Amino acid sequence: MHISPTIALSLALLISTATTSPVSAVQMGSKHNLYLVTCTQRTSGFPDCPLLIFCSQPVTSSLSKRQLRPAKSYTAVAYYANGPIETLPGRNTNPTAIATVEDPAAAWEGTQRVAKLSLGGGAGAFSSSIDVGAKTLDKGQIAGEARLDAEDFACFRDGKTGFVGRDVFGDETYRCTADYWCPSIQV
């Protein structure tokens, strides 16, 4: 595993005792968090198709009886400026900013991924470097690093944390699962 000296030193300071159990967001004490996610999206309306008779048939939502396009998967980065995702309903479940990294979905491991996040007053430059083979790690094990502008993040294997987006009708429009959770080592 390759990790920058700055991240290694910061991790050593943050985790003062050796432990084999996963590190939680509370233990890390991080206010800024990135989630490297794989999302599945359904959108309403007819598929983008010049001749509808040759397109795949859309499915119908059970709540609003509107037609939905077939699901597609993509990778994205979700930024939470006020602490990690809360598992309690209605508490910090929506990201502060989210940006598509690859469409269709691509593996995070073994390559640098980049994106631009819209952050209040401008765009934030995101990059991540997740180690080859990190997908096989247990939840909570260190997997690589990320950066958002000048802020460094240490990335840990997740695979379970997630969030859901809904439209005005209450229909689920996308569902994301965090492949990696990256708390800031600076804030």
Radius of gyration of the chain (CA): 18
Q: CB under 8 Å to 167, separation ≥6 — which residues?
A: 44, 173
Ranges of each domain in the chain: 5-11+28-47+58-183
Q: How confident is the model over 11-25, as pLDDT tens digits? A: 444 443 334 445 554
d(CA 181, CA 58): 34
Q: Is the pTM of this model over 0.75?
A: no
* Tens digits of residue pLDDT in 24-80: 544 446 899 999 999 998 655 444 444 444 455 444 445 545 555 567 899 999 999
Instruction: Average the pLDDT over 166-170 and give the result.
Output: 80
What local confidence, expressed as pLDDT, does residue 87 receive?
Answer: 60
Predicted confidence (pLDDT) per residue in 80-110, tens digit: 988 888 765 566 678 889 999 999 999 999 9
| Confidence (pLDDT) at 101 | 96
Which letter, b or e, does each residue of 5-21 get, where b requires 16 or more Cβ atoms within 10 Å of its Cβ? eebeebbeeeeeeeeee
pLDDT at 128 over 80: yes
DSSP letter at 23 equals P
Q: What is the DSSP string of 125-164?
A: EEEEEEPTTGGGSPTTSEEEEEEETTEEEEEEE-SS-EEE
Give percent of the chain above pLDDT 90.
47
- Separation of first and last alpha carbons in the chain: 24
